């Protein structure tokens, strides 16, 4: 807590962030912060799109694709929670919208034209295809639904919630309850949705054979490309006036209202954007993992998603992505190492990060630099600005 | 200000174009190869290496999560079988090197771990899974990589994959015999209680068809999610329906909640007995209330008398496992490794296609009796048994099929099963 916090810190009040300070070059030879971030995104894009496919085996690349889907959700969480202060504990709902839309389409594509999915035959051989499945025969409709459904749901819900000024713990409980309810609804309607067993055994992805490793690599590339695109979108949002209004709303909603803005609209945009990202992540998770079940969307899964953002650093640009990728990788590799105790090791890592670097993994380099600096110049270790920030926080 | 915005927009646009180009560049190869035709891709070349003096085998069981309580035992007994086989010379002279993975009671994790075992560890075969959901998650993976999976638990049938061997019972070896037993007991009305997932739902669909044939009336059907323990509401419906018997397809710890609600409602084994297909020696003492006098249908009980079973029990008690009782899924897992050994040695190879060619007729003197592999549907013959739970939570056999029952996963020998459904399922199975 001793490092001089940057303007991005969630704990600083809006008054401490003069709008134009960031845009001015701090010291002339150095690059602006935005440019550094953009270069960072470029490096990340090269790593994900060129380096990873070149060095990883089919299996590991497919796993990375899965983590990238979670990372997409985490980017949205970073926007809504890290910058917007909305504790979105139920992003599994939007992940589910995209995932089930895609899974229904792939199930029907595998079954073939006019055929009904195998699992439905199992429970009731003569039942017709439920009406809400029918449009998902169309690939175009499915893609539209992946984007449109979260916009509709998050838009309606968000409008109702934010206009009524529901926030804080109430909002968190509401969003979590929604995820739990949806997981139960899907689990309890086995004849319509595949229930707890979920939907699996997809053979084709928009005409591409899923058993061909080249096609799996293509799906990976699409996922990685979309993840980078999500990063670019939040990068652009964070540096825009909207990004500043969002942080202002997080830190002092009433002041933003007095200034003539409607905080509800600002939050709504962030919430809907986060929902769309989660839905796209869910849609791509399906062909990559080859299965979707309510376990992947319920309370535990939603918390896993938000844990990624917290682990990496929710308010930073790269934190949520890195956190989700690390957590996903940790889940796979730790369980390969200690198949009995991996869950404790993962939890321990999480506790350590929360204790030692509460702003997440992404803040560790900055903290380390700050620590080194304070060792070198012990008298300057506690700049007065930070003390002020701490007071406002508590 | 305007100038600034323009530059920012340009930067964003340029970056977006760059990402798009990178993505399409990375995708390029896929589209080109897929242009000419769309036939099924050839499965990747197997990376299994048996040139040394060991052979790697993968075990995937839930060691964490709700199913851990059951699946840890399967993992242990697989380890015991591997040690036994190694002590007596291994498979074709090669020592088994087990690689254990945790399925974590999470279906996508089962798929991921199976793929890891097949492509990263390059195991010659995978053993494990418990719930049908986990098997359904692993099935596409073993089929894609032309691997082998040995699945050790009784299940709902209506499935056959050239990449899976089913060493537990299919419906005509467990559930249909149970129905015949009920008919012989003079049961007129039956209540179905199950967990809400693919096995109980499918099993009950079959039970309803067979009950109509046998003249048994189904007076109710209730489901509760696998991870929920509260059966109070559903049991009150049982009390109202007054069935002669309850057919229980509940799985896992949810059984505890069911037995509690059953006992609290004043139901008794003498008047409203239960016949279960998922309560075995391990579960019976842990039901929280006495289940003495209740029935279960299985293909193996610890009480089965055979020299092979005596040895199995003795070895298991001596082995450092999580319990000292033996049960049907454990036994099915134990024999799966021995059957694999016999198949490999008959084929003279670890190659999956050669093993499949050699599989038909391979047999093993199992604790349940001699079992034989059906090379066509990859199931094994098994004796059908009904046991009644005694005061020691062991099962006294009260009914048994005279001979081992041949596996019939698609119920071809039963004309009450709708032809159209069978055709659709066989077609989907490929």
Residue B29 to residue A213, Cβ atoms within 8 A: no
**Contact (CB, 8 A) for A338 and A345:** yes
Element (H, E) at B212: helix B198-214
Average pLDDT over residues B403-419: 94
Tell me the sheet residues that pair with B126: B58, B149
Do the Cβ atoms of A215 and B107 come within 8 Å? Answer: no
Looking at residues B304-312, what average pLDDT do you find? 96
* Burial B51-87, CB ≥16 within 10 A → b, else e: eeeebbbbbbbbbbbbbbebbbbbbbbbbbbbebbbe
Radius of gyration of chain A (CA): 22
Residue B149 has pLDDT above 60, yes or no: yes
Nearest to B178 by CA among B210, B146, B153: B210
* CA proximity to A320, closest of A77, A146, A100: A77
pLDDT of residue B19: 63
Closest-approach residue (CA) in chain B for A289: B108
Rounded to the nearest 5 degrees, what angle is found at the Cα of B72, between the Cα atoms of B70 and B77? 105
Q: Do A296 and B119 touch (CB under 8 A)?
A: no
Q: Answer for the pair B166, B179: CB distance below 8 angstroms, yes or no.
A: no
Angle at A238 between CA A233 and CA A240, to 5 degrees: 95
Q: What's the burial of B2, exposed, middle or buried (CB within 10 Å: 0-12/13-18/19+)?
A: exposed
Least confident window among A228-242, B37-51, B141-155, B211-225: B37-51
Task: Locate the chain B residue with the closest alpha carbon to A203.
Answer: B140
Beta bridge partners of B382: B405
DSSP letter for each residue of B91-138:
BTTBEEEEEEEE-TT-HHHHHHHHHIIIIIS--S-EEE--SHHHHHHH
Q: Are strands B54-61 and B385-389 parallel, antiparallel or unpaired?
A: unpaired
For residues B252 and B195, is the Cβ–Cβ distance under 8 A? yes
Q: Contact B196/A122, CB-based, under 8 Å?
A: no
Q: How far is CA A135 from the centre of its chain?
A: 28
Q: How far is B270 from chain A (nearest CA, A)?
A: 33
Q: How confident is the model at residue B239 (pLDDT cuts 50, 70, 90)?
A: very high
Give the mutation candidate from A38, A221, A331 for the B interface (greatest B CB count, under 10 A). A221
CB nearest B197 (choices: A42, A196, A236): A196
Please write the tens of the pLDDT for every residue from B319-363: 987 788 999 999 999 999 999 999 999 999 999 999 999 999 999
Give B272's contacts (C-beta < 8 A, 6+ positions apart). Answer: B238, B242, B243, B244, B245, B246
Nearest chain B residue (CA) to A38? B15
Cβ burial A12-46 (10 Å sphere, 16+ → b, else e):
bebebbeeeebeeeeeeeeeebbeebbeebbebbe
At A189, is the secondary structure helix, strand, or coil?
A: coil
User: Using the beta-carbon criterion (under 8 Å), do A197 and B107 form an inter-chain contact?
Assistant: yes
Helix (H) or strand (E) holding A205, with range, is strand A204-205
Name the nearest CA neighbour of B167 among B299, B68, B277: B299
pLDDT at residue number B152: 97
Q: Rounded CA gap, B31 and A219, in Å?
A: 11
- List of chain A residues whose C-beta atoms are within 8 Å of the C-beta of residue B430: none
User: In chain B, pLDDT over 70 holds for what percent of residues?
Assistant: 89
Of A184, A211, A232, the CB nearest to B43: A211
The shortest C-alpha distance from B378 to chain A (Å) reads 20
Token pair 């796209």 in the structure block, residue: A280
Enter the ipTM. Answer: 0.86
Packed helices A299-312 and A58-77: angle between N→C axes, nearest 10 degrees: 80
Rounded-to-integer distance, Cα B285 and Cα B279, Å: 10
* Strand duo B217-224 + B189-195: pairing: parallel
Question: What is the spatial distance between Cα A266 and Cα A263, in angstroms, rounded to a whole number?
Answer: 5
Of B16, B44, B225, the CB nearest to A187: B225
Q: Nearest CB to B107: which of A23, A232, A291?
A: A291
Candidates B41, B157, B419, B423, partner chain A, best to mutate (most A CBs within 10 A): B41
| Residue among B212, B213, B57 at smallest CA distance from B149 | B57
Average pLDDT over residues B170-193: 97
CB < 8 Å to A317, chain B: none
Question: Distance between CA B80 and CA B16 in Å, rounded?
Answer: 57
Q: Which two tokens stand for residue A104?
A: 């229904």
Q: What is the mean pLDDT of chain B?
A: 90
The span from the CA of A305 to the CA of B102, in Å, is 21
Minimal C-alpha gap between A250 and chain B (Å): 24
Q: Does A217 sit within 8 Å of B29, measured CB to CB?
A: yes
Query: How many inter-chain contacts (A to B, CB under 8 Å) are there?
Result: 195
What would the pLDDT profile of B30-53 be if each residue is shown by its tens digit?
A: 443 443 444 444 555 678 988 899
**Which pLDDT belongs to residue B6?**
58
The answer to whether residue B27 scores a pLDDT higher than 60 is no
Rounded mean pLDDT, B227-252: 94
> Which residue from B101, B108, B418 is facing A336, i.e. has the nearest CB?
B101
DSSP B380: B
So what's the pLDDT on residue B8?
57
Across the range B180-185, mean pLDDT stands at 96
> Across the interface, do A339 and B133 touch by the CB < 8 Å criterion?
no
> For B380, phi and psi rounded to 5 degrees?
-125, 155
Give the distance from residue A49's alpha carbon to the nearest chain B alpha carbon, in angstroms: 7
**Torsion from C-alpha of A192, A197, A198, A199, nearest 10 degrees:** -90
Q: What is the 3-state secondary structure (H, E, C) of A280-321?
A: HHHHHHHHHHCEECHHHCCHHHHHHHHHHHHHHCCCCCCHHH
- Could you read off the pLDDT tens digit of each residue along chain A, which spans 394 residues? 344 434 444 444 444 444 444 444 444 457 788 899 999 999 999 999 999 999 999 999 999 999 999 999 999 999 999 999 999 999 999 999 999 999 999 999 999 888 889 889 888 767 789 999 999 999 999 999 999 999 999 999 999 999 999 988 999 999 999 999 999 999 999 999 999 999 999 999 999 999 899 999 999 999 999 999 999 999 999 999 999 999 999 999 999 999 999 999 999 999 999 999 999 999 999 999 999 999 999 998 999 999 999 999 999 999 999 999 999 999 999 999 888 888 888 888 888 888 888 888 888 888 888 888 887 765 544 444 444 444 443 3
What is the C-alpha separation between B321 and B188, in angstroms, rounded? 43
The CATH number of the domain covering residues in B172-298+411-429: 3.40.50.2300
Whole-number Cα distances in Å, A273 to A112, A153, A269, A270, B80: 34, 12, 6, 5, 53
CB contact under 8 A, B22 and A332: no
Predicted confidence (pLDDT) at residue B121 exceeds the cutoff of 50: yes
Widest distance between CA atoms in chain B: 91
User: pLDDT at position A17, please?
Assistant: 43
Produce one character per residue of B329-347: b if its CB has 16 or more CB atoms within 10 Å, e if not: bbbbbbbbbbbbbbbbebb
User: Cβ of A208 and B30 within 8 Å?
Assistant: yes
Task: Output the pLDDT for position B427.
Answer: 81
How crowded is residue B10: how many other Cβ atoms within 10 Å of its Cβ? 10
d(CA B429, CA B413): 18
Angle at CA of residue A206, ends A205 and A212, nearest 5°: 40
Distance of residue A218 Cα from the nearest chain B Cα, in angstroms: 5
Q: Encoding tokens for residue B247?
A: 């057919």
Q: Which residues of chain B form CATH 3.40.50.2300?
A: 54-169+303-382, 172-298+411-429
* Chain A residues within 8 A of B120 when measuring between CB atoms: 57, 59-60
- Closest alpha carbon within chain A to B65: A343
Tens digits of residue pLDDT in B67-108: 887 899 999 999 999 999 999 999 999 999 999 999 998 999
φ/ψ of A189, rounded to 5, equals -120, 60
Residues of chain B with C-beta less than 8 angstroms from the C-beta of A209? 34, 38-41
Per DSSP, the three-state class of A144 is helix
Angle between helices A263-289 and A92-111 (to 10 degrees): 40
Please report which residue ranges of A189-293 form alpha helices under DSSP H.
190-193, 213-239, 241-251, 253-258, 263-289
3-class secondary structure per residue, B14-51: HHHHHHHHHHHHHHHHHHHHHHCCCCCCCCCCCCCCCC
Are B175 and B203 in contact, with CB atoms under 8 Å apart? yes
pLDDT at residue A346 in the model? 83
- Residues of B within 8 A of A187 (CB-CB) are 196, 225
**Alpha-carbon distance B272 to B264, whole Å?**
13
Residue of A nearest to B134 (CA): A197
Cα(A261)–Cα(A242) distance, integer angstroms: 11
Tokens of A229: 């695109």
Between B8 and A368, where is the model more confident?
A368
Q: Which CATH class is domain B54-169+303-382?
A: alpha beta
Q: What residue has token string 């109509």? A: B212
């Amino acid at each position: 807590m001793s490092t001089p916090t940057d303007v991005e810190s969630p704990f600083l009040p809006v008054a401490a962030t003069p709008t134009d300070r960031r845009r001015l070059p701090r010291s002339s030879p150095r690059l602006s912060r935005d440019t550094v971030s953009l270069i960072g995104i470029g490096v990340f894009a090269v790593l994900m799109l060129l380096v990873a496919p070149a060095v990883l085996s089919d299996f590991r690349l497919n796993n990375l694709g899965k983590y990238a889907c979670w990372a997409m959700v985490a980017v949205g969480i970073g926007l809504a929670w890290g910058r917007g202060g909305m504790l979105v504990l139920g992003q599994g709902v939007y992940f589910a919208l995209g995932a089930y839309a895609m899974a229904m389409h792939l199930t029907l594509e595998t079954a073939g034209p006019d055929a009904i999915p195998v699992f439905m035959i199992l429970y009731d051989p003569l039942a017709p295809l439920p009406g809400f499945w029918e449009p998902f025969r169309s690939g175009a409709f499915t893609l539209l639904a992946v984007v449109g459904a979260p916009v509709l749901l998050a838009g309606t819900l968000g409008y109702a919630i934010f206009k009524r000024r529901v926030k804080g713990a109430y909002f968190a409980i509401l969003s979590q309850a929604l995820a739990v309810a949806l997981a139960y609804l899907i689990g309890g309607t086995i004849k319509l949705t595949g229930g707890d067993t979920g939907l699996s055994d997809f053979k084709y992805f928009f005409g591409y054979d899923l058993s061909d490793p080249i096609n799996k690599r293509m799906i990976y590339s699409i996922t990685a490309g979309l993840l980078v695109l999500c990063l670019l979108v939040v990068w652009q949002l964070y540096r825009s006036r909207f990004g500043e209004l969002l942080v202002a709303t997080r830190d002092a909603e009433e002041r933003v209202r007095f200034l003539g803005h409607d905080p509800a609209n600002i939050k709504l945009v962030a919430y809907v954007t986060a929902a769309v990202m989660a839905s796209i992540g869910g849609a791509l998770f399906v062909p990559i993992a080859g299965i979707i079940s309510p376990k992947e969307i319920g309370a535990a899964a939603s918390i896993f998603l938000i844990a990624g953002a917290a682990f990496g650093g929710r308010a930073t640009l790269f934190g949520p992505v890195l956190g989700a990728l690390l957590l996903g990788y940790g889940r796979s590799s730790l369980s390969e190492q200690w198949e009995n105790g991996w869950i404790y090791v993962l939890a321990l890592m999480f506790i350590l990060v929360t204790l030692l670097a509460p702003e997440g993994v992404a803040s560790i380099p900055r903290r380390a630099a700050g620590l080194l600096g304070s060792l070198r110049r012990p008298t300057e270790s506690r700049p007065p600005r930070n003390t002020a920030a701490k007071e406002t926080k508590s | 200000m305007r100038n600034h915005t323009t530059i920012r927009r340009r930067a964003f646009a340029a970056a977006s174009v760059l990402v798009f180009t990178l993505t399409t560049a990375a995708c390029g190869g896929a589209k080109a190869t897929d242009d000419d035709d769309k036939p099924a891709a050839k499965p990747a070349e197997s990376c299994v290496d048996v040139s040394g003096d060991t052979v790697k085998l993968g075990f995937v069981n839930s060691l964490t999560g709700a199913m851990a309580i059951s699946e840890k035992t399967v993992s242990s007994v697989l380890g015991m079988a591997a040690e036994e086989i190694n002590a007596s010379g291994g498979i074709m002279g090669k020592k088994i090197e087990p690689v254990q993975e945790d399925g974590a009671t999470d279906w996508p994790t089962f798929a991921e771990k199976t793929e890891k075992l097949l492509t990263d560890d390059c195991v010659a075969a995978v053993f494990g899974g418990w719930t049908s959901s986990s098997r359904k998650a692993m099935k596409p993976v073993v089929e894609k990589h032309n691997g082998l999976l040995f699945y050790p638990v009784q299940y709902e049938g209506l499935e056959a994959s050239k990449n899976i061997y089913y060493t537990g019972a299919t419906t005509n070896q467990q559930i249909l015999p149970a129905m015949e037993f009920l008919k012989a007991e003079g049961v007129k009305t039956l209540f179905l209680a199950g967990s809400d997932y693919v096995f109980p739902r499918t099993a009950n669909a079959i039970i309803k068809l067979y009950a109509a044939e046998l003249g048994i009336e189904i007076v109710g059907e209730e489901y509760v999610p696998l991870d929920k323990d509260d059966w109070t509401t559903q049991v009150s419906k049982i009390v109202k329906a007054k069935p002669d018997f309850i057919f229980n397809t509940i799985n896992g710890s949810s059984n505890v909640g069911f037995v509690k609600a059953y006992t609290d409602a004043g139901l008794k084994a003498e008047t409203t007995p239960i016949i279960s297909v998922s309560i075995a020696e391990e579960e019976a003492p842990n039901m929280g209330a006495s289940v003495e006098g209740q029935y279960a249908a299985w293909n193996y009980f610890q009480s089965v008398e055979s020299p092979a079973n005596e040895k199995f029990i003795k070895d298991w008690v001596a082995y450092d496992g999580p319990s000292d009782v033996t049960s049907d899924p454990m036994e099915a897992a134990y024999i799966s490794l021995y059957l694999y050994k016999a198949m490999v040695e008959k084929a003279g190879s670890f190659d999956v296609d050669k093993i499949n060619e050699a599989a038909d007729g391979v047999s093993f003197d199992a604790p349940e009796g001699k079992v034989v592999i059906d090379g066509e549907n990859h199931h094994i013959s098994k004796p059908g048994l009904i046991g009644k739970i005694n005061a020691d939570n062991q099962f006294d056999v009260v009914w048994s099929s005279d001979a081992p029952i041949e596996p019939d996963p698609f119920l071809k020998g039963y004309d009450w099963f709708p032809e159209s459904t069978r055709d659709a399922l066989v077609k989907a199975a490929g």
